[in-house]
């Protein structure tokens, strides 16, 4: 089955809803759904070249808004009730996004994700206190604000929150909260510079003086 040039290689279940704009491009893209009552919405002008979207569960949501561009990535929702939201004009070169355990991953508008990015809401395996048997590593949502640049090979672990306008240096591992308009680097990632703005070009982004400069 082909929808807007995206081959839907497998759909097992009922009442799944796909709202895919006819302008979506998806050479080599694959969508696989196993479950019921899932909803995938892909807006105008989105490019999903060689991207895989896989849902294994029910009542999941995938929303990719207009003019976003994904390439060579894998988006995997593996449990019922998981959600993924991507804002307007965000780009992602390659990597894996894994949403598990009824959690949510949100990417804001105009984000720039480089190659080899890993974002996940769960460790996928439980760690327990020996005495209380309590799970000590529960899954948590991940939130990335508007106009965030994530460098090559970076990792965003469960519970991460990155505020607008910030930059995550290549190969960094983020495990907490990163404030707005700063550069964070290292393992674990720590803020190394504050009060910055960035641009997709080498020209100073005048629009960020209003939209992105910290108060």
Whether residue 211 has pLDDT greater than 60: no
Residues 111-138 have a mean pLDDT of 95
pLDDT at 201: 84
The pTM of this model reads 0.91
Q: Which contiguous run of DSSP H or E holds residue 83?
A: strand 83-86
Could you tell me the pLDDT band of residue 210, with boundaries at 50, 70 and 90?
A: low
pLDDT at 3: 61
pLDDT at 137: 94
Residues 102-126 have a mean pLDDT of 97
Residue 87 · residue 146 · CB < 8 Å? yes
pLDDT tens digits for range 13-22: 999 999 999 9
Q: Which conformational region is residue 102 in: left (phi greater than 0), alpha (psi within -120 to 50 degrees), or beta?
A: left
pLDDT tens digits for range 190-205: 999 999 999 988 888 7
Verify cis geometry, omega within 30 degrees of 0, for the bond prior to 188. yes
pLDDT at 11: 85
Dmax (CA) of the chain: 57
Angle among Cα 120, 199, 92 to the nearest 5 degrees reads 30
Residue with tokens 């979506």: 24
pLDDT tens digits for range 157-201: 999 999 999 999 999 999 999 999 999 999 999 999 999 999 988
pLDDT at 212: 46
Helix (H, G, I), strand (E, B) or coil at 95: strand
Tell me which DSSP letter residue 191 carries: E
Q: Which contiguous run of DSSP H or E holds residue 210?
A: helix 208-211
Could you tell me the pLDDT band of residue 215, with boundaries at 50, 70 and 90?
A: very low
């Amino acid at each position: 089955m082909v929808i807007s040039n995206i081959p839907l290689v497998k759909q097992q279940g009922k009442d799944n809803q796909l709202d895919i704009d006819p302008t979506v491009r998806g050479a080599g893209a694959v969508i696989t759904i196993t479950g019921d009552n899932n909803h995938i919405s892909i807006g105008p002008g989105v490019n999903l070249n060689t991207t895989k979207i896989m849902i294994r569960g029910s009542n999941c949501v995938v929303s990719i808004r207009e003019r976003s561009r994904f390439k060579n990535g894998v988006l995997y929702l593996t449990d019922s009730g998981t959600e993924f939201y991507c804002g307007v004009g965000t780009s992602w070169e390659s990597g894996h996004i894994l949403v598990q355990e009824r959690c949510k991953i949100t990417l804001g508008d105009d984000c720039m994700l480089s190659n080899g990015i890993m974002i996940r809401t769960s460790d996928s395996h439980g760690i327990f206190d020996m005495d209380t048997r309590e799970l000590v590593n529960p899954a948590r949502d991940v939130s990335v604000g508007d106009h965030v640049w994530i460098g090559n090979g970076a990792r965003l672990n469960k519970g991460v929150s990155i505020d607008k306008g910030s930059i995550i240096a290549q190969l960094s591992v983020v495990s907490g909260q990163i404030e707005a308009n700063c550069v964070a680097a290292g393992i674990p990632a720590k803020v190394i510079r504050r009060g910055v703005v960035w641009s997709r070009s080498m020209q100073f982004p005048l629009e960020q003086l209003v939209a992105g400069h910290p108060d």
